[in-house]
């Protein structure tokens, strides 16, 4: 019986549609066992370890220790061998403590196990389940027999079956728990009110986590969703959702991180509520592959079933093909395009992996920008003749977006390395070079945010991603305005500071963004119409300011100079030599190439004026505030990201007052 959650009333964007939900079972990842509280998942200082067993867990307070220690001691997890002891197995063992039968077969605690599909193939998932269930059953036998661990105690098939069910239930229903910085610290399996919310690649809701050692969490929000079976008209009352909030209200159920579901689109009464199980900035093929490998289903949402592909999915996978002396590629386009996609993917992923593992930021920047600028050159054999082709990534291809993210980071790291003074070069020269690298990093942050926003205009469910990218761009722009490198580049820095004070206003006269952000925080809500209006105002303002500073930001970077207008994306152009394919193919009309730098109107000189810093400051404040408004829609007024934006804006106001 397929379950789903539907809205019980009309809901606007930015509305909490569940109260804080408590998990059935949860566990920190091994890497965070000694840095975070095992009960509430908050970062711990000071550490309060338990002393009743050899494998210590740590807590942020006596309350967390008292409430969680019985779970740890009773679940048999201490008997798991260290080589296989993981958050997955610990969560499954803890889920078994709450195990009870249900008429909704095949379910455990009303949660779908998906066992038949997860174990139907001879793959890594099946092997993980087989080995994990065996280790769990042995640990339970050792726990009951008082053994010291290992595989010394025998177990019966009933224990193995329950272990397998619990492990499958965790694999099917668990979500990664992210801390305030976006780091995955553990996993948790939540009650059916959340676990029955299905996936969509164009969801109308998202969720956030709350970390607190207090047992008295706010319950102001109510359940605005109800469980239904697929295609039914009546809610399922006696199915575990209505009772899940009180059934375990005492004891174990006061532990764990909380989860709140929030609308990111208008939701009509009776409409199914959906969230994303995968990264929405991936093209359809990658999303489907990940969903099948993890959950054993293929998404049939509106975005995935659209023919032809949606604009967003076209852009995320688009590769332009240039050819010189053959028209035969038309018949083999898909084959050669897939080949190019694999090779481009390998090249970019190798460069990023090398950067993350070795830390060679210079090599990473050179490799990625070469691929973005020059593409992939191939000699391909067709009809016993070899022809030369060039494959160019679309600027909004998912590999391009990943490259912008990495390049923004790598240039920032290079700038910090130079600023640290570890290199044997003149200090003024070092400061000047570090400033140039910071400027390029900022340009990539801005290109990434505006590129994803361009996709967001067609797919509003990308709101969480674009919120983070606009905040990142805003922070980078504001940091650049305070760089000491200005004085190494431009002598009269006192005049620069004076222009900041005279040119920068606390409020923008052209848009209501600042006011709307403050009002949303104060009132705890924003209407869809107001959000759409302020979004349009924001783009107009940011486009106007970006025109004044983009040439300055991208100076010296060949790839960025080819991106003439990162806000309107008018620089996306058609290639006359591109392969013409049928309308039902994966090719689109969105083609892209790099023209010679001077032909697109970008100056070869550093476009600096005495007002440049003030414009960058204005741009940074707009990007940061808009990112904060998007974060409010996704996560609410008290979320970490919204508070982070407020704190930065407060510091900026104090800085302007001091000039």
Contact assessment for residue 507 and residue 515, using Cβ atoms and an 8 Å cutoff: yes
The Cα 128–Cα 164 span in angstroms is 10
Q: Is the pLDDT of residue 219 over 70?
A: no
Give the least confident one: 133-142, 191-200, 302-311, 579-588.
579-588
Give the least confident one: 60-64, 170-174, 292-296, 349-353.
60-64
Q: How are beta strands 225-229 and 107-108 bridged, if at all?
A: unpaired
Q: How are beta strands 274-275 and 23-28 bridged, if at all?
A: unpaired
Does 519 or 243 have the greater pLDDT score?
519
The pLDDT of residue 498 is 64
112-126, 274-288, 382-396: which is most confident: 274-288
Contact assessment for residue 186 and residue 87, using Cβ atoms and an 8 Å cutoff: yes
Mean pLDDT of the chain: 84
The Cα 635–Cα 630 span in angstroms is 9
* Integer angstrom CA distances of residue 150 from 79, 83, 135, 637: 7, 11, 9, 49
Task: Give the pair of three-digit tokens for residue 142.
Answer: 């050792």
Q: What is the mean pLDDT of residues 501-528?
A: 84
| CA nearest to 197, candidates 271, 306, 90 | 271
Give the least confident one: 4-13, 348-357, 496-505, 639-648.
496-505
Q: What is the mean pLDDT of residues 258-276?
A: 97
pLDDT band at 585 (very low <50, low <70, confident <90, very high): very low
The Cα 532–Cα 224 span in angstroms is 24
The pLDDT of residue 105 is 47
| CA nearest to 65, candidates 49, 53, 78, 79 | 49
Does 99 or 55 have the greater pLDDT score?
99
Q: Residue 522, class by beta-carbon neighbours within 10 Å (0-12 exposed, 13-18 middle, 19+ buried)?
A: exposed
Q: Is the pLDDT of residue 582 over 80?
A: no
The Cα 164–Cα 105 span in angstroms is 15
Per-residue pLDDT tens over the stretch 107-164: 777 899 999 999 998 899 999 999 999 999 999 999 888 655 444 567 889 999 999 9
Q: How are beta strands 205-210 and 258-263 bridged, if at all?
A: antiparallel
The pLDDT of residue 385 is 67
Per-residue pLDDT tens over the stretch 64-73: 888 888 888 8
pLDDT band at 607 (very low <50, low <70, confident <90, very high): low
Task: Give the pair of three-digit tokens for residue 202.
Answer: 């164009």
Q: Is the pLDDT of residue 448 over 60?
A: yes
The Cα 400–Cα 169 span in angstroms is 36
How many other C-beta atoms can be found within 10 angstroms of the C-beta atom of residue 98? 17
Per-residue pLDDT tens over the stretch 410-445: 999 999 988 876 555 666 778 889 999 999 999 999
* Bridge partners, 16 (sequence order): 262
* Bridge partners, 210 (sequence order): 258
Does 60 or 5 have the greater pLDDT score?
5
The Cα 329–Cα 333 span in angstroms is 5
Task: Give the pair of three-digit tokens for residue 9.
Answer: 């009333």
pLDDT band at 584 (very low <50, low <70, confident <90, very high): very low
């Amino acid at each position: 019986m397929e379950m789903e959650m539907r809205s019980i009333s009309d809901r606007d964007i930015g509305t909490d549609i569940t109260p804080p939900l408590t998990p059935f079972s949860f566990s920190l990842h091994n890497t965070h066992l000694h840095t975070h509280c095992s009960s509430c998942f908050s970062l711990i200082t000071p550490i309060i370890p338990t002393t009743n067993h050899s494998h210590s867990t740590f807590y942020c307070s006596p309350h967390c220790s008292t409430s969680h220690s019985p779970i740890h001691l009773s679940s048999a997890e201490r008997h798991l061998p260290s080589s296989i002891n993981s958050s997955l197995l610990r969560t499954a063992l803890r889920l078994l403590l709450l195990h009870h039968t249900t008429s909704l077969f095949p379910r455990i605690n009303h949660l779908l196990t998906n066992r038949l599909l997860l174990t139907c193939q001879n793959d890594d998932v099946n092997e993980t389940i087989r080995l994990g269930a065996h280790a769990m059953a042995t640990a339970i036998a050792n726990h009951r027999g008082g053994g010291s661990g290992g595989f010394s105690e025998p177990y019966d098939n009933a224990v193995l079956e329950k272990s397998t069910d619990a492990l499958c239930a965790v694999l099917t229903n668990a979500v990664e728990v992210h801390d305030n910085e976006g780091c995955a610290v553990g996993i948790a399996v939540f009650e059916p009110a959340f676990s029955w919310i299905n996936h969509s690649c164009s969801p109308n809701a998202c969720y956030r986590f709350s970390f607190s050692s207090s047992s008295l969490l706010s319950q102001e929000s109510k359940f605005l969703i109800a469980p239904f079976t697929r295609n039914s008209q009546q809610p399922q009352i006696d199915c575990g959702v209505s009772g899940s909030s009180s059934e375990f209200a005492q004891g174990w159920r006061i532990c764990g991180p909380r989860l709140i579901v929030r609308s990111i689109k208008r939701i009509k009464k009776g409409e199914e509520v959906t969230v994303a199980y995968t990264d929405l900035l991936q093209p359809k093929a990658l999303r489907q592959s990940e969903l099948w490998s993890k959950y054993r289903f293929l998404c049939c949402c509106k975005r995935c079933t659209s023919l032809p592909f949606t604009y967003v999915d076209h852009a995320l996978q688009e590769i332009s093909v240039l050819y010189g002396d053959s028209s035969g590629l038309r018949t083999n386009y898909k084959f050669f395009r897939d080949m190019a996609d694999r090779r481009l993917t390998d090249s970019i992923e190798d460069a990023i992996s090398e950067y993350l593992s070795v830390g060679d930021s210079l090599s990473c920047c050179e490799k990625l920008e070469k691929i973005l600028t020059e593409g992939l050159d191939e000699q391909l054999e067709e009809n016993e003749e070899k022809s030369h082709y060039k494959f160019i990534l679309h600027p909004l291809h998912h590999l391009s977006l990943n490259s912008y993210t990495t390049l923004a980071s790598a240039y920032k790291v290079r700038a910090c390395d130079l600023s640290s003074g570890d290199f044997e070069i003149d200090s003024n020269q070092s400061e000047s070079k570090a400033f140039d690298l910071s400027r390029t990093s900022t340009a990539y942050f801005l290109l990434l945010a505006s590129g994803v926003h361009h996709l967001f205009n067609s797919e509003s469910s990308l709101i969480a991603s674009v919120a983070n990218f606009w905040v990142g761009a805003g922070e980078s722009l504001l940091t650049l305005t305070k760089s000491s490198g200005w004085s190494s580049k431009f002598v009269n820095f006192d005049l620069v500071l004076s222009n900041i004070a005279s040119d920068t206003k606390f409020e923008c006269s052209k848009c209501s963004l600042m006011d709307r952000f403050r009002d949303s925080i104060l009132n705890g809500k924003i209407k869809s119409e107001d959000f759409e209006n302020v979004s349009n105002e924001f783009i107009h303002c940011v486009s106007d300011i970006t025109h004044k500073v983009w040439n300055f930001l991208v100076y010296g970077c060949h790839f960025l100079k080819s991106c003439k207008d990162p806000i309107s994306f008018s620089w996306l152009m058609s290639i006359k030599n591109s392969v013409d394919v049928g309308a039902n193919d994966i090719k689109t009309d969105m083609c892209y190439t790099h023209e010679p730098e001077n032909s697109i109107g970008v100056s070869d000189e550093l476009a600096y004026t005495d007002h440049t810093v003030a414009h960058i400051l204005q741009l940074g404040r707009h990007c940061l505030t808009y990112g904060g408004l998007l974060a409010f829609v996704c996560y609410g007024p008290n979320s970490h990201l919204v508070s982070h934006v407020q704190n930065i804006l407060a510091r900026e106001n104090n800085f302007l007052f001091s000039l």
